[in-house]
Structure 1
Amino acid sequence: MRKLINVLFVAAGLLLTANVANAQQKLGHLNSDEIYATMPEAKAAQASLESLAKTKQGEIDKMITEYQAKLKAAQDKEKTLSEANKEVVGKELQNAQVELQDLGKRIEDARTKATTDVQTEQGRLYPPINQKLSAAMGAVAKEKGLAYVFDISASSGFNNLIYFDGGEDITAAVKTKLGISASATPAKTPVKKN
């Protein structure tokens, strides 16, 4: 019985020591959405992606306009169909149908390729930005002696933090580490990070 009581005291002492050690660890938080929205590299990457997407959409819009014009021409041709010209107009309508199907497939292929191109460009542009941000966050956390840093940004769905009361917000310090003015205003549209 005495051994059991000694074991319980030792276990309670270890538990108390672990809790005291945990209580001494410093916690911090930051808002990576705010940092991304003010990083020049992220702004440039977002502008590049938007430009690429706009160019691709312009190409697709031209194809859609062509499709609509050909469809209208085929519909107008169909209105002229009569017994007298049934054979000639019927053949023209069949050719128009094949042409419209081909153009529809090209439009869908162009949409798929545009999506792939934008995703590929995003995959090329963002990893170096993410690496730079990660290095800055790690450096600031070490400088401030923080054991844990939580991201409280909306894009992370607040999943990285369930509750916080106080803590040290290092968003401004990370911006400074990246050479961004701490008072820089975020872009109107949030920059996506992938």
Structure 2
Amino acid sequence: MKNFLKVALVAVCFLTIGNFAKAQTKIGYINFDALIGAMPEAKTVKTTLDTYSKQFTDELAAMQTELQTKGTEFQKTQTSMTDAARSAKQAELQDIQKRMQDYNTSAQQKFDEKSQELIKPLSDKARIAVEAVAKEKGYSYVLNSTQTQFVVAPAGDDLMAAAKAKLGIK
């Protein structure tokens, strides 16, 4: 009888530990980019970034027009130019192309920095909401479904609706 009680006690312990381990590894997922995109502030950020980007686009368009104008002029007059003048004009055209490439690289870096600067508050706000929802619902891990391809994912573990509700998004 004592052996039976010991075996029963060990079995209960294993079952309890197994359930406890299961409860601690509850995993949820959310499309974090879609959550940020659904936030009302995202529209303002997008408008600001579009305006910021247009400045660079306009400058590049002006440089492209200058390059085309000077290139057309060069093609028309190159036969009557001296070798020195032709070389100087070709160097000028190459310089414009290099400036365009450098400006494009610089503009992309500035745009990326501005984008990160404007999106960071939204990202932080969304992360806090997701953390709160995960804590309320008992999730140990929440995966970003935009960075992970799920083969099977139960609808119950998608935290999008709960996170939107936490942020006041319909």
What's the TM-score once normalised by structure 1's chain length? Answer: 0.70
More deviation, 134-143/161-170:
161-170
Q: Is the 8 A contact 2:29 2:142 kept in 1?
A: yes
Aligned to 1:29, the other structure's residue is in SS state: strand
Q: Is the 8 A contact 1:29 1:151 kept in 2?
A: yes
> How many angstroms apart in 2 are the aligned matches of 1:94 and 1:168?
67
Find the counterpart in structure 2 of residue 147 from structure 1.
140
The 1:166–1:105 alpha-carbon spacing in structure 2 relative to 1, beyond 3 Å, is closer
Q: Pick from 140, 147, 151: which aligns with 1:156? A: 147
Q: CA deviation at 1:16?
A: 4.3
- Structure with more of its chain in helix, by fraction: 2
Find the counterpart in structure 2 of residue 96 from structure 1.
89
For the pair 1:111 / 2:110, whether they are aligned, the reply is no
Q: Is the 8 A contact 1:29 1:167 kept in 2?
A: no
Percent identical pairs in the alignment equals 34
> How many angstroms apart in 1 are the aligned matches of 2:69 and 2:13?
80
Aligned residue pairs total 162
Q: Is the 8 A contact 1:77 1:89 kept in 2?
A: no
- AA matched with 1:20: N
Q: Is the 8 A contact 1:30 1:171 kept in 2?
A: yes
For the pair 1:69 / 2:60, whether they are aligned, the reply is no
Q: Which runs of 4+ in 1 moved over 4 A?
A: 12-16
Q: Alpha carbon RMSD of aligned pairs, Å?
A: 2.7
Find the counterpart in structure 2 of residue 167 from structure 1.
156
Q: Which runs of 5+ in 1 are unaligned?
A: 1-5, 82-87, 182-194
Residues 16-64 of structure 1 show CA distances to partners (whole Å, capped at 9, x for unaligned) of: 4432213345544333233122112233223322332232122111101
Q: CA deviation at 1:166?
A: 4.4
Q: CA deviation at 1:13?
A: 7.2
Residues 103-156 of structure 1 show CA distances to partners (whole Å, capped at 9, x for unaligned) of: 12211111111011111102211222111111011112222333333333xx31
Q: Pick from 109, 116, 131: which aligns with 1:123? A: 116
What's the TM-score once normalised by structure 2's chain length? Answer: 0.78
Q: CA deviation at 1:15?
A: 5.4
